[in-house]
Every structure is written in C-alpha cells, then in structure tokens.
C-alpha cells in the first residue's frame, strides 16, 4: 500500500512544481539549523539526513497559513460588526444517502477489519466508517503535501521575515510583534516535535518519509493522525507487525483504539459518544456530522435534536 502512495506522492510533488526546485538548490544546506538541533538532541541519523537533503528549500506556506488563521481568530473575528453568523450544526454536503451508501460499501469491502475493531474496542462500523468519510472520504482525499516537507518547513520557520507574502494584508505593528514571535516559536517547536515523531514512525515501520502524503499541517493516513497520536493510539489491525495508516485494516483499528481510549464505550449513549468524537476534532459540528451520518449508514433516520449540539457562539 505504501508503495502505491509513494508513486502518488511523487507525482503530486512533481506536478506541484516542488520537485522542479529540488536537489540542486536546496540539499542539506537549507535545513542546517534543523540538522543542528537534531544532532544536539542525538536524533540525527542517515534517514533524517537523506530525507531532508532530498527536499527543496523550506516552504513558508504551512506556517504562513497557520499565522493567518490565528491572526484572524485573535484580531479580526472578535471585532466583526453585525450579527454573529452561526455555523450550521453539520458540515455541508456530508450527511447524504450517497455518503452513507459509500460507507456501507467500504464496510462490506473491509468487513473483517470493522468486525474485529468493534470486538476489540467496542466502536461500531457505522461510526468508524463515518469518521473516515469525514476525514478523507474513505481514503480518497489524503492530502497532496509531503508530511516531511510540511513539518520540516514549519519547524525552521521561526522568524517573521521568513513568511514573505503570507504577512500581506495583516496589520502587524509593534504592538503585535510579540504575539507573532510567540506564535512562530510555539508552532515551530510543535512542528519540530511532530517531525521527530514522524521520523520515528517511519523508522519503526520501514516507511520512506519521502513517500507519505498528508494534510496542510501533517496529518496522515486514511484516519488523519498527527504523528504524535500514532505512538499513543494507532493499532496494527491486521497483525502484520507494521502500522500503516494508509491500509484500511490499520486505519479502522486505529480509529477504534483512539475513540475507546478517549471515552467511547459501547453503551455510553449519545452524549458520551459525542464527547469522545470531539477528542478527535474539537468542533461540535464534527461530532454532530459523524453521529448523523452513522445514523444514515445504519439505516436510521437522522435524529433532529438528540443527534446534534448547537454550535458554540463565536
Ligand atoms: Ca498492519
């Protein structure tokens, strides 16, 4: 399975133009500060060296995107005039008969994995498949960025002048400089830890880091785990000794294990299930959508009130 994604990731990388910038201009030089930090912590090895040397220059995109999001939350959204727009209680275009049909097909195609996950972790197929539908459309939308490149780029983006045009349109005066510095430090340290964990995961499971696609911020696999979640929550669903989150067997089991370790119990009831789902993603809409889609997958009519929580006021 990983080999298939290796090919896909390589193609996406080249198509995006990233590959064209590669090798001759960047090499290890652009990543020297990162290499120094990893050497000082004793976690620099051949895998880290060869993987980083194959990347183009760091991209300002992941950190720039995060800074923009945080800027908007802190300095714009609270001061918007006019009536506050409430978010709908469900993600749009998800709780539909055709989505439920795709979930049922996916369950049928991976029946042993879903059955075993329910037996081991008490999380039923309708919930796990609905979560995977929301995360990656059952593995058909896995992200187009290399996890390694995303995390390494964020880890080395520690100064405002590295963000380039990503600061355009933001009002960062002297009074907001400390805020920006703090964001850059905190987020780059976060990415650095995720990067180290990602490389550990690759080493342990014999995965080439240059083949793993992910989301904007480095979540990976059909179940979109951050590397730091893998160690604590991922499961080897098919018992082959490898955790491959691009393999439905392991992704299904990992969702079951994550939810069961975060409060899901088979007889817990809707409120408890809602809370467990919010440990996966903190949005009310996320949990609402999965519960409502799972109702459709089971063939129940979506419950109007009990199924959903009102969105929190923003
Ligand atoms: Ca496995």
pLDDT single digits (tens) 6-54: 444 444 444 343 433 333 344 456 899 999 999 999 999 999 999 999 9
Q: Report CA(135)–ligand 1 centroid distance (Å).
A: 20
Q: Report CA(240)–ligand 1 centroid distance (Å).
A: 5
Phi then psi dihedrals of residue 5, to 5 deg: -70, -25
Ion ligand 1 neighbours (CB, 5 A) are: 236, 238, 240, 242, 250
Q: Report CA(202)–ligand 1 centroid distance (Å).
A: 13
Q: Where are the beta strands (DSSP E) in the chain?
A: 145-146, 213-214
Nearest Cα neighbor of 251 from 225, 276, 222, 280 is 222
C-alpha dihedral sign at 24, 30, 32, 38: negative
Q: Report CA(238)–ligand 1 centroid distance (Å).
A: 5
Q: Report CA(244)–ligand 1 centroid distance (Å).
A: 6
230-288 pLDDT tens trace: 989 999 999 999 999 999 999 999 999 999 999 999 999 999 999 999 999 999 999 99
Q: Report CA(245)–ligand 1 centroid distance (Å).
A: 8
Element (H, E) at 134: helix 125-136
How big is the chain, counted in residues?
A: 314
The domain spans of the chain are 2-83+143-214, 97-142+220-298
The per-residue DSSP string of 56-121 comes to: -SPPSHHHHHHHHHHHIIIIIGGG--SSPPPPPSS-TTTSSHHHHHHHHHHHHHTHHHHHHHHHHH
Q: Which residues, other chains included, contact 190 with Cβ-Cβ below 8 Å and sequence gap of 6+?
A: 154
- pTM, rounded to two decimals: 0.85
As a dihedral over the C-alpha atoms of residue 20, residue 23, residue 26, residue 27, rounded to 10 degrees, the angle is 160
Q: What is the DSSP-derived secondary structure letter of residue 219?
A: -
pLDDT at position 92 over 90: yes
Class of domain 97-142+220-298: mainly alpha
128-186 pLDDT tens trace: 999 999 999 999 999 999 999 999 999 999 999 999 999 999 999 999 999 999 999 99
Q: Report CA(297)–ligand 1 centroid distance (Å).
A: 26
């Amino acid at each position: 399975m990983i080999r298939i994604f290796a090919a896909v990731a390589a193609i996406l990388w080249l198509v995006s133009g990233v590959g064209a910038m590669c090798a001759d201009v960047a090499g290890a030089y652009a990543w020297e500060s990162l290499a120094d930090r990893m050497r000082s912590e004793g976690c620099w090895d051949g895998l880290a060296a060869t993987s980083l040397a194959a990347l183009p220059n760091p991209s300002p995109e992941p950190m720039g995107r995060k800074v923009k999001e945080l800027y908007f939350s802190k300095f714009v959204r609270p001061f918007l005039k006019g009536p506050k727009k409430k978010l709908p209680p469900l993600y749009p275009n998800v709780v539909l008969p055709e989505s439920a049909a795709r979930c049922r097909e996916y369950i049928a195609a991976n029946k042993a994995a879903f059955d075993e996950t329910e037996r081991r972790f008490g999380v039923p197929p309708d919930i796990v498949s609905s979560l995977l539908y929301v995360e990656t459309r059952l593995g058909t939308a896995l992200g187009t960025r290399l996890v390694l490149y995303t995390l390494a780029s964020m880890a080395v983006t520690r100064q405002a002048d590295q963000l380039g045009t990503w600061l355009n349109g933001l009002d960062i005066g002297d009074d907001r400089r400390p805020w920006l510095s703090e964001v850059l430090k905190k987020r780059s340290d976060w990415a650095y830890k995720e990067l180290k964990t990602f490389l550990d995961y690759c080493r342990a499971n014999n995965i080439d880091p240059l083949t793993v696609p992910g989301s904007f911020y480095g979540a990976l696999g059909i179940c979109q785990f951050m590397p730091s979640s893998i160690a604590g929550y991922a499961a080897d669903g098919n018992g082959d000794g490898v955790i491959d989150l691009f393999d439905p067997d392991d992704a299904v089991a990992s969702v079951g294990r994550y939810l069961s370790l975060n409060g899901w119990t088979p007889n817990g009831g809707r409120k408890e299930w809602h809370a467990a789902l919010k440990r996966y993603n903190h949005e009310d809409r996320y949990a609402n959508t999965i519960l409502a889609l799972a109702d459709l997958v089971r063939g129940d009519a979506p419950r109007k009130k009990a199924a959903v929580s009102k969105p929190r006021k923003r």
